Amino acid sequence: MKIFAAAVLCLALFGPALAADAAPEATPAMTQATAELLPRHHGYAFEQPQVLLRQRLFGLAHGLSMLAAACLDLPQHSAPIQNAYASWHAKQARSIEVLVLDLSRYYFGERADEANWPDLARALGLNDSILPALGKVPLEDACATLPQAISGARYDFARLLADVPAPEGPAPIAVAVPPAPTSESPAE
């Protein structure tokens, strides 16, 4: 059941990106190049409100993807989480693409098209596990409240992005990265 649930979540996460941008399979050379991708900046751009907002929203999307993945291990929450996350992602996919593209340009400049979700998370110094962010809140409680929480204004990225102009930068690139868990065992 967990494998099925994980497959459904992965389809929700990657389906739109796979349909729109069929990328070639990763070769050892591509994997090596991505592994060597070093950001021009590290951490948060407090002096640039447009970039800072995108960083904050990326962090929220990153946390949501890790929490949703961790909740798949809890059978009583698996289906509601999958449904809520898939619905939220469908509404926010374009805004998330914009976040990823803008942040890829900010952090990686000319190599922005090589950046992927883990590269951005690493540049921002984000965890690859949801547990540190939960603190003393049990995973069970976080999973129970997630479906209602992600339907709120705090997670309406399109509305939040509309309030702040896009950062200045080079022309848009054609590659986007969907939100995804950043480790094989996100609840560790």
Range of the domain at 84: 2-17+45-162
When divided into structural domains, the chain yields a total of 1
* Residue 71 placed within a domain: yes
pTM > 0.85: no
35-53 pLDDT, tens digit each? 578 888 877 888 888 889 9
pLDDT at 21: 38
133-171 pLDDT, tens digit each? 899 999 999 999 999 999 888 899 999 888 766 666 544
Q: Which amino acid is at 167?
A: P
* Of the listed ranges 28-37, 51-60, 128-137, the one predicted with least confidence: 28-37
The rounded distance, in Å, linking the Cα atoms of 186 and 69 is 7
pLDDT at 173: 44
Alpha helices in the chain (DSSP H): 2-20, 28-35, 49-71, 75-108, 117-124, 131-134, 139-149, 157-162
* Residue 51 placed within a domain: yes
* Residue 33 placed within a domain: no
Report helix angle 49-71 to 2-20, nearest 10.
140
* Residue 50 placed within a domain: yes
10-20 pLDDT, tens digit each? 444 444 343 33
* Residue 58 placed within a domain: yes
* Residue 90 placed within a domain: yes
The rounded distance, in Å, linking the Cα atoms of 21 and 25 is 12
* Residue 178 placed within a domain: no
